[in-house]
Structure 1
Amino acid sequence: MNGTVDPPLLPPPDRVAGLLAELGSPPRPAVHLRAVHDVAHQPADWMEQRHPAVAFDREAVLFGAATHDVGKTVHLAELSGPGSAREEAGQALLLERGVSPEPARFAATHASWSDVRIGMDDLLVGPADKIWKNKRVPDLEDLVVARPAEATGRPAWEGSIALDEVLSGIGDAADGRLAFRASVPIHG
């Protein structure tokens, strides 16, 4: 891409790549979705390894991370400015293209972690959307560790320490992801 070197990011699922192509996604949102999808693997790994008895859908988390901001393909102003119109628009775009409501919901729920109806899958997409650029959200991280602690009876502080290690490691590599995103044009 324009003489830049891609950081070692995992590609999005084939289905997501096809959806983005179908939507005519500009390069910048596609790179953002790829980066969030890439880092979402690590919180999912953390959950599987630390809390194997806590139910969550890894594939749904990864799909959600790869599509959470798909609404930015039509709300381009939100690529560099505030707004939340992309959330409902993204969910509608996915539904219109045959994505079932369960995975399409991530476009609308990824920033709504304080809603008590939000499940573990949704909570794992939230930190990925923040930590890819080394942003920490303590309230969100507390929720990510509180749910498994409640389910397993383990102290939340133990989970906090372990999650902090994972998120700190992801955050340490944020400069490369941010530089790559900045090197990609917003529009095609």
Structure 2
Amino acid sequence: MSSQIRNFSTVHDAHKFLQQLGASSKLIRHVKLVGEAAELLIAKLHQLPVSFNAGFVRLGVAFHDAGKILHPEELTAKGNNHELAGEQLLIAHGVEPSLARCCRSHGQWESMECSLEELLVALADTLWKGKRISQLETMVIERLSALCKRDYWELFVEMDSCFEAIASEGDLRLSRS
């Protein structure tokens, strides 16, 4: 158990850390592909008058499936044992608890109070493979609408187009997974 909080300045540092913890190349490839979707979301949000922590989103995506180090079967089969296990693993190794929480919130966003950044991690984790979850997308747009002080439906059209563009390349990303 680490008593000191680790700081990660880059996603590359986070990937190296995951490898030190035993992450497989398949897991690293997965978080990189989700990271591609996250970068597209981040780029879109930078066009809006909204303040958010892009670094947190990037690192949250890098760490969101850390529990699959302990539950590698969930790399190829459905399951959520990796969620709490990942959070605990990261905290035990000195990762900031709010960042480690992305291990749970990316899969439990419906039942947890999540930050915008956590919702973006969850959204990137669905869009990367071409999946759309309207409830999650609605939550993100509602949060953005309030932060930007823009009409929900005006923002919906803009963000829905962004989400669709990211999802439309899901097959390409899946073929590289």
TM range (shorter): 0.7 to 0.9
Match of 1:88 among 76, 84, 87: 84
Superposition TM-score, scaled by structure 1 size: 0.83
Question: Pairwise mapping of residues 110-129 of structure 1 onto structure 2 (< 5 A)?
Answer: 110-115=106-111, 117-129=113-125
Please say if 1:16 is aligned against 2:17: no
Please say if 1:100 is aligned against 2:59: no
**In the alignment, is the contact (CA less than 8 A) between 1:111 and 1:126 conserved in 2?**
yes
Match of 2:135 among 124, 134, 139: 139
Q: Which runs of 5+ in 2 are unaligned?
A: 1-9
Superposition TM-score, scaled by structure 2 size: 0.88
Please say if 1:55 is aligned against 2:55: no
Match of 2:160 among 160, 164, 185: 164
Matched AA of 2:130: N
Report the alpha carbon displacement of residue 116 of structure 1 after superposing the two structures with TM.
Answer: 5.7
SS at match of 2:130: coil
Match of 2:71 among 75, 96, 99: 75
Query: How many residues end up aligned between the 2 structures?
Result: 168
Please say if 1:173 is aligned against 2:169: yes
**In the alignment, is the contact (CA less than 8 A) between 2:80 and 2:107 conserved in 1?**
no
Distance 1:49 1:117 in 2: 26
SS at match of 1:128: helix
Distance 2:80 2:98 in 1: 20
Sequence identity (%): 32
The Cα offsets for residues 16-71 of structure 1, whole Å up to 9 and x where unpaired, read as: 12212112211221111111112101112222212x2x332110011001110111
**In the alignment, is the contact (CA less than 8 A) between 1:132 and 1:171 conserved in 2?**
yes
Q: Which structure has more RCO (C-alpha within 8 Å, separation ≥ 6)?
A: 1
**In the alignment, is the contact (CA less than 8 A) between 2:15 and 2:62 conserved in 1?**
no
- Per the alignment, residue 27 of structure 2 pairs with 29
SS at match of 2:47: helix
- Per the alignment, residue 148 of structure 1 pairs with 144
Matched AA of 2:45: M
Distance 1:115 1:92 in 2: 19
**In the alignment, is the contact (CA less than 8 A) between 2:105 and 2:112 conserved in 1?**
no
- Per the alignment, residue 3 of structure 1 pairs with none
